[in-house]
Chain A
Amino acid sequence: MEGSSGDMRTSEQREKMNKVRATTTRKRSKEELEVKQDQIFNFNNKPAEEEEDEDLSDSEDSVYSGLEDSGSDSEDDEDEEEQSDDDDDDDDDDDVKAGSEQTQQTEEREKKGGVKEEENNEEEYKHDSSDEEDIRNTVGNIPMEWYRDFPHIGYNLDGKKIYKPIRNKDELDDFLDKMENPDYWRTVHDKQTGSDIVLSDEQVELVNRLQRGQFGDVNFNEYEPSVEFFSKDVMLHPVTNRPADKRSFIPSLIEKEKVSKLVHAIKMGWIKPRRVEDNSRGHYYNLWASEDSSILAKHRMHLPAPKIPLPGHQESYNPPPEYLFTDEERALWEQQDPSDRKLPFVPMKFSSLRQVPAFPRFIHERFERCLDLYLCPRQRKMRVNVNPEDLIPKLPKPKDLQPFPTTQSLVYRGHSGLVRSISVSPSGQWLASGSDDGSVRFWEVSSSRCMKTVQVGGAVKNVAWNPNPSVCLLAVALDSVVLILSPSLADRQVVLSSEQLLSGQQEAEPTDEAGPVIWSVAEGEELNQGIRLRIQHPKAVHQVSWHAKGDYLASMMPDHSSHLQVFIHQVSRRRSQNPFRRNKGLVQCVSFHPIRPYFFVATQRSVRIYNLVKQEMTKKLQANSKWISSMAIHPGGDHVICGSYDCRLSWFDLDLSTKPYKMLRHHKKAVRGVAYHRVYPLFASASDDGSVIVCHGTVYNDLLQNPLIVPVKVLRGHVTTHDLGVLDVTFHPTQPWIFSSGADATIRLFT
């Protein structure tokens, strides 16, 4: 009963403390401390032995143990005392502190052993369930900060305030305490009472055990042997003595319902009975036992997939050495896109079969084949299996179509610039040529001798011999002037008649001065050279062309924006007129119809044919080419050929259509000149690729028969200079000869 008496004392003391806070003597407190410490441990041991306490008669054990504990702990307490003694010397405040310490300890003890204290104090609270409650401080389980600003910390059972310890320790004190107090680690702060408690060894041990997850009680055996009620041995007596249920004797209604449901489902076909193990996979029979022909009629157009091409020598594991890649071929193969490669693999050579590895793309290739089979669109392609010889048209042999020029027989040298234009006299004896070196030369055809050179003082664009055999005149176009030359290379009669023709006009001359064209008579040096007339044009003249009668002369000045592109001059009356009032496009070349009063004007894309008598356009030929370069009219007058800069030659049959009857793409480069032979069924085209192609073009009188066009000869001889080859071509009027002038400053005759 020491504990109870101690408690009594405690309560007494508490009261005292409450009353006289600061004035408690040190000695007293010391005494109390001793006692109280004892008690704490007494109570602390209790909870573990609670059951036993209940069962066993008295708490002698506990008392005893408590005593023992106290013995051990007292030393610590004494240490504390010593400490406090030291403190005491320092200050009065320390006294107070010590006192507060005391109180704290006391209160803590009360908290710990609160329940037991109660039990011990009053027997009627023995079975009180409020053992968790802290009855020293009745504020309950609240955050203690709420009392921070009050002097008290709660209320005791009597409703009196419990005052806080006078002054809390500051940081410095705390630190000093930590450094100096050996029990600091086992000191715990109680918030409820605001006091520090030093834990005993047992308490520390208890905490450690709980932390380790062990039972708090040292004596508790966790691994007690279990009693086996049910064992493998058959017992004589049943475990339970319960009689069997009735439901174990009668059929189950629920089960019956379930079965009937299943039966119904089976009957209705909702549940199928378990299928017999189907082993049909891999079971084969004679599928094609009856090959009836009715099925043979295929319902669709089936295109069987092509088979995989068979491997060649290069796929061998040991191919002939020529099939292996060289380094360059290999590099090329690696660079190429997989779809561009000729071979999908690199040929390799292995010296023996055992060294051949697995092909890494084998599965890929099979897979790609699968994809081809079901994803690749199929189309039936007719494979052309033609003999290329059959494609070549059967033409009459050139031998049968003779005569035509075949060999180069004469070269006329003398010009120093490219020879733009040539023209043969109607008699066929003389050849006139105009060149970029500013001269017009007259050659004797048969000897290639240069008879005469006329310096005209400008690059000659075009020369044209008067087609009338009774006069001997030459029209020369250069810059913006057209010169009429009388070369006097004929009989005296002819020369005279031509002079007469030129001089006869003089009366008519002054009549039209106002026009854009100025006629003037050459004088002095020019006259000596043979120049008779100068026809001054407003713009640069590119081409001149005589009418078959030899009196009219057409000159052409290409210009996009003006209607002044073509002039027709009458030499005998020295009169000029502009036949067109409107600009129909850039004029490329002009020509008179050889027999009838028609006038041909070739613009960039088309050829217009005007009737000079009615003064209207009769036809417009579509050339189907980008840019017409030259034009020639068949002596019969019903056919026209047009050369164009896009390498084509189009043959128009005027009776047939306004579209070309035939397009000939013989040349590799732009066609510069075309010409018809006056007598023989021949025509020729000259091109920048340095060749002249002579074709046979028979025109039949029968309207139902189309012209026969056969190329008969390719004539080469001119050297291309500055990307220009042959610039002009013309036939001899009577012989099957052809003249060509080129950019290499020569004129060549092919016979």
Chain B
Amino acid sequence: MGGLQKKKFERGSATNYITRNKARKKLQLSLPDFRRLCILKGIYPHEPKHKKKVNKGSTAPRTFYLLKDIRFLLHEPIVGKFRDYKVFVRKLKKAYGKTEWSAVERLKENKPTYKLDHIIKERYPTFIDALRDIDDSLCMCFLFSTFARTGKCHVQTIQLCRRLTVEWMNYVITARALRKVFISIKGIYYQAEVMGQLITWLVPYQFSHDHPTDVDYRVMATFTELYTTLLGFINFRLYHSLNLLYPPKLDSKSESELKEENEEDYALNSECYLEKLSALSASLARVVSTAEEEEEAEPDQFPIEGEDLEKMEEKEKKQKEQEAQKKLFEGLKFYLNREVPRESLAFVIRCFGGEVSWDKSVCIGSTYEVTDETITHQIVDRPNINKQYINRYYIQPQWVYDCINAKILLPVEDYFLGVTLPPHLSPFVEEKDGDYMPPEKVKIMALQRGEKPVHEQEDDDEEEGEDDDEGEDEEEEDDNEDEEDDDAESEEKNLKKMEEQRSQGKSLQVKVTPGKMKVQNPARLEQEEKAEEKRLAIMMMKKKEKYLYDKIMFGKKRKIREANKLAAKRKAYDDAEKAKKKKARK
């Protein structure tokens, strides 16, 4: 009894949150400024746990920010800069209105600017933090660097983005950090491992953009402003971690190689250097030039026991694999025809130690001609080519990407000119047991293990043969049919195996109806008994747990259903293909 009367919403979660409008009023900012500030400072709304409590009893939809976040924004120096800018705009307008051109000139010279360095430092206190959050900035910079220099954003921004992305790619080449590449319908995904962090970015295809009207480019520009700053600092740090000069300089040797007499025709002097860098064909200059063959410090071996030992071994194995992958294309010489995406392929090949060149007229920085006899692979993306050299493979670009993802050099036969390409699989998918795995992936995994490459090879050959048969004479028909039967059998086995795997995963869901007992099978009886026991136990579950359990089981069932559907689709497709082939042969 007695005491002060407690008032509602004066303590607890109601005081921890603030609505957007209140926050804006507290900061005395206009909505666009507030948004910009939120973007730059990385402040985002929070979803409170008890919305009604926070909303003071109302259930109206509102966005809430943490009060602490907003208090934190209060002392941001950039807010002052925003106000300065507002004043500047007002003054400029006034000067224009009065047609005081000298004043306009003077004001324009003193246009307030701001720097984002401290914000970057504050948002990402350590370098690793920054690296972790770099995905979006890379995507955005790569997108902006492909924009045409027309009105959608400042030309300087586009140039800066281009510069930063080129620097980034050069770093990835030098560090050989690229791990996975994936050609999707949206663009090309790259995944690199930098300082232990996996970084994924998406590069759009090199086409002009059809700028949509329902996109607010100001928001994008604000993000880009932040991202360019972040990426610049990261590049600086990364370059220094490899003892490279920043801003990047070409190696003196390669620079002299690249020196061409018609350089002036190609580009202005100021742009030429960036162009040469973006050609990605030359190595970069280091601070200490002798550091070429630097011995990596070997980690000391500590005596380990039991599980750790296994883990350690696994780790070592992985590392070895990675080392091998880094040198995947070493010793190979590629030549890019003019119709293939030059930048992507040059970047990827150089990342894995290959040498690459292209026609002189395509881009600056080509190092050797088509006529070079030492070229091992020529990448072509047209149905046929007139003049072919004997001592090199003519392959389609997908081969390069598939090799990288498989971490081995795949047989080139599937990728010759005019051949129907095998499907390009996503390297980011990691199938767990029970998931559907496309047969191509199974094949590649077998190749990776080096298990039965011969058989697989034969298989491939057969398929090749079948493919070619349509055009060739029908001499080998009999042999082929036998082989094909074998083929079919093996495939069926494969399917069965897969089915079994799936059914094992499904064993939880076996429905047993009582009264259908078969006495002769005690194992089955026991199983049924167990199932019934389980069903009875499930009946006794609490409501909450039952709900959760049902949800989990529903998800599992759905997954299995989807996998089955995919398998069925594949089977139908394969059958159709086989029927077609047979028809063609007859």
Nearest B residue to A366 via CB reads B143
Q: Are B126 and A296 in contact, with the CB atoms below 8 A?
A: yes
Smallest Cβ distance from A365 to chain B, in angstroms? 7
Nearest A residue to B567 via CB reads A322
Q: Are A317 and B537 in contact, with the CB atoms below 8 A?
A: no
Smallest Cβ distance from B43 to chain A, in angstroms? 8
CA distance A384 to B544 in the complex (A): 13
Among candidates A282, A318, A354, residue contacting B423 with C-beta atoms closer than 8 Å: A318
Q: Does A269 contact B (CB under 8 A)?
A: no
Q: Are B396 and A299 in contact, with the CB atoms below 8 A?
A: no
Residues of B within 8 A of A378 (CB): 44-47
Interface residues of A in 510-553 (CB under 8 A from B): none
Given A315-B184, A386-B548, residue A392 in contact with residue B534 (CB < 8 A): yes
Residues of A within 8 A of B207 (CB): 357-358
Q: Are B139 and A363 in contact, with the CB atoms below 8 A?
A: no
CA distance A665 to B160 in the complex (A): 66
| Segment among A40-48, A306-314, A559-567 that sits at the interface with chain B | A306-314
Nearest A residue to B216 via CB reads A367
Nearest B residue to A280 via CB reads B115
Residues of A within 8 A of B156 (CB): 281
Q: Does A353 contact B (CB under 8 A)?
A: yes
Q: Does B211 contact A (CB under 8 A)?
A: yes
Q: Are B186 and A359 in contact, with the CB atoms below 8 A?
A: yes
Q: Does B163 contact A (CB under 8 A)?
A: yes
Q: Does A397 contact B (CB under 8 A)?
A: yes
Among candidates A282, A315, A347, A714, residue contacting B232 with C-beta atoms closer than 8 Å: A282
Residues of A within 8 A of B303 (CB): none
Residues of A within 8 A of B125 (CB): 291, 295-296, 298
Q: Contact string, A348-369, partner B, CB cutoff 8 A, digits 1/0?
A: 1011111011111011111101
Among candidates B44, B47, B185, residue contacting A317 with C-beta atoms closer than 8 Å: B185
Q: Contact string, A250-286, partner B, CB cutoff 8 A, digits 1/0?
A: 0000000000000000000001101100101110111
Smallest Cβ distance from B578 to chain A, in angstroms? 13
CA distance A486 to B419 in the complex (A): 95
Interface residues of B in 547-578 (CB under 8 A from A): 548-549, 552-553, 556, 566-567, 569-570, 573
Nearest A residue to B37 via CB reads A374
Q: Are B183 and A317 in contact, with the CB atoms below 8 A?
A: yes
Residues of B within 8 A of A142 (CB): none
Nearest A residue to B562 via CB reads A342
Q: Are B398 and A358 in contact, with the CB atoms below 8 A?
A: no
Q: Are B47 and A320 in contact, with the CB atoms below 8 A?
A: no
CA distance A622 to B8 in the complex (A): 34
Smallest Cβ distance from B164 to chain A, in angstroms? 9
| Segment among B22-30, B130-138, B251-259, B449-457 that sits at the interface with chain A | B130-138
Residues of B within 8 A of A714 (CB): 514, 532, 535-536
Q: Are B438 and A371 in contact, with the CB atoms below 8 A?
A: no
CA distance A295 to B420 in the complex (A): 57
Residues of A within 8 A of B211 (CB): 363
Smallest Cβ distance from A507 to chain B, in angstroms? 56
Q: Does B64 contact A (CB under 8 A)?
A: yes
Q: Does B421 contact A (CB under 8 A)?
A: yes
Q: Are A367 and B537 in contact, with the CB atoms below 8 A?
A: no
Q: Are B397 and A353 in contact, with the CB atoms below 8 A?
A: yes
Could you tell me how many residues of chain A have their Cβ less than 8 Å away from some Cβ of chain B? 91
Q: Which of A287, A318, A365 gathers the greatest number of chain B CB atoms within 10 Å?
A: A287
Residues of A within 8 A of B233 (CB): 284-288
Smallest Cβ distance from B55 to chain A, in angstroms? 13
Q: Does A319 contact B (CB under 8 A)?
A: yes
Smallest Cβ distance from B485 to chain A, in angstroms? 23
Q: Are B570 and A321 in contact, with the CB atoms below 8 A?
A: yes
Residues of A within 8 A of B63 (CB): 375, 377
CA distance A388 to B189 in the complex (A): 36
Q: Are B126 and A348 in contact, with the CB atoms below 8 A?
A: no
Residues of A within 8 A of B420 (CB): 351
Nearest B residue to A365 via CB reads B186
Q: Does B294 contact A (CB under 8 A)?
A: no
Q: Contact string, A378-421, partner B, CB cutoff 8 A, digits 1/0?
A: 11000010101001111101100000000010000000000000
CA distance A284 to B424 in the complex (A): 40
Nearest A residue to B201 via CB reads A308
Nearest B residue to A316 via CB reads B424
Given A300-B69, A320-B438, residue A392 in contact with residue B237 (CB < 8 A): no
Q: Are B45 and A376 in contact, with the CB atoms below 8 A?
A: yes
Q: Does B426 contact A (CB under 8 A)?
A: yes
Q: Does A225 contact B (CB under 8 A)?
A: no
Q: Does B369 contact A (CB under 8 A)?
A: no
CA distance A320 to B122 in the complex (A): 46
Smallest Cβ distance from A61 to chain B, in angstroms? 59
Q: Are B533 and A316 in contact, with the CB atoms below 8 A?
A: no
Q: Does A166 contact B (CB under 8 A)?
A: no
Which B residues are within 8 Å of any A CB, using their own CB? 35, 38-39, 43-47, 49, 63-64, 66, 68-69, 72, 106, 109-110, 113, 115, 117, 120-122, 124-127, 130, 132-133, 135-136, 139-140, 143, 156, 160, 163, 182-187, 189, 200, 204-205, 207-212, 214-216, 219-220, 223, 228, 232-233, 235-237, 240, 246, 339-341, 381-382, 396-398, 420-421, 423-426, 428-429, 438-440, 514-515, 532-543, 545, 548-549, 552-553, 556, 566-567, 569-570, 573
A-B contact pairs, 30 of them (CB 8 A): A281-B156, A282-B163, A284-B235, A304-B132, A307-B135, A311-B182, A311-B184, A312-B426, A313-B426, A319-B424, A320-B423, A347-B185, A353-B340, A362-B186, A363-B209, A363-B211, A369-B139, A370-B219, A373-B44, A373-B136, A377-B63, A379-B46, A384-B548, A392-B541, A393-B537, A393-B542, A395-B537, A693-B539, A714-B536, A716-B514
The 8 closest A-B pairs by CB, nearest first: A379-B47, A310-B428, A358-B207, A322-B570, A377-B47, A377-B45, A322-B569, A284-B232
